[in-house]
Amino acid sequence: MTRLRKPTAETVLIINDSKKDSDLFYATRFLVGDPLIYIEHGGRKFLLVSDLEYGRAKKEADVDEVVGTAELEAELRSRGKIARLASIADLFLRSQGGAQKLCVPASMPLGQAGQLRELGYELDCREDPIFPETWLKTPEQIDHIANCQRAGEQAMEFIVETLRSSEIKDDLLHHEGEVLTSEWLQREAHKRLLDVDCSPEQGTIIATGDQCCDPHQHGHGPIPANQTIIIDIFPRSLVTRYWGDMTRTVVRGKASDEVKKLYQDVFEAQDWAIKSIKAGACGKQIHQGIVEHFEKSGNKTGERDGIKEGFFHGTGHGVGLDIHENPRLGKVGHELKAGHVITIEPGLYYPGVGGVRIEDLLVVTEDGHRNLTTFRKEPEHLEI
């Protein structure tokens, strides 16, 4: 097994479950939904687990030593103490020579942090992720993300072709004699993701018409003809835990001239941004370039009747073991480095007209980028 995370000279403590905490999974490669105690101390990696998980952890965990917590819990109870996770970690650390300062994630619960301070520890709370090297992907990790993206593209192909083959009756789409709904398409797309060991863990967006104007609206109800349909697919591998992310916008039927212009403007903005991606580029500057492009093309951003319209989200974000991670391309942006995997996803949203978003997933390289997304997006593919 190739070790992903080498311990540092610091004493690191993470108490969480590795299904929720991507840093914990990165450090251990051990997936479990119950709380674990992960410790880096004295140049070694330790994983403290219950008896239930001990055998599997011995086989699977990428650590130097797996420790069962049963004896530690019994020792605490014999002293009349409650066997809290913080207390178990403390007892184990004392058996390893002790520590005064712990490096912990800033997301550690306040109560747990308080217990550790009561036990005498100074806490160095690190902003997530506690292991920032996770932002820079290895070739193997990029392959994992690319495989997830292929799964997303297969699901996208199914959705788009189902929409294309649907019949238009009374301004609604029909499939096999039934009104086609966002929910039905989502379920069928999810089946196809699961067939290739990917999970629709956070759902799939198939939003239509004015639903498109709320960028994270998942979409619901009958799908209308001649209106924008935003399809945003972000599967997670059940095997590697890495994510993919892509978005396309289509219209089944005829798009209005307004929608065609929105699509052309978004397409051109994304094309400019993608060409700007390389190591050393500034995420904030790229985002500002998108903002200026939209303003020059007459697409104003603001608020009407209490509803946001125009371009009011970031241009992109990192993707890896988390669906949204650094680096960011937005009002607050990071310098891009070779090995970052990022989305480029400008969008325009106007209630009464619809919404358009196009999203690709790219690997940043020293002299440019590699686009992991191959699904068609040119303006001639808007109408299907």
Res 1: pLDDT: 42
Q: What is the pLDDT of residues 162-179, one digit of tens each?
A: 999 999 999 999 999 999
Q: Read off the pLDDT band of 5 (50, 70, 90).
A: low
pLDDT for the residue numbered 4: 57
Q: Give pLDDT tens digits for 209-263.
A: 999 999 999 999 999 999 999 999 999 999 999 999 999 999 999 999 999 999 9
Give tens-digit pLDDT for 54-77: 999 999 999 999 999 999 999 999
- pLDDT number for residue 341: 99
pLDDT band at 275 (very low <50, low <70, confident <90, very high): very high
Residue 223: CB partners within 8 Å, gap ≥ 6?
163, 166, 172, 173, 180, 181, 182, 185, 206, 208, 229, 252
- Domains, the chain: 12-134 (3.40.350.10), 136-381 (3.90.230.10)
Digit-coded pLDDT (tens) for 314-367: 999 999 999 999 999 999 999 999 999 999 999 999 999 999 999 999 999 999
Average model confidence (pLDDT) across the chain: 96
pLDDT tens sequence across 182-213: 999 999 999 999 999 999 999 999 999 999 99
Residue 381 neighbours by CB distance under 10 Å: 15
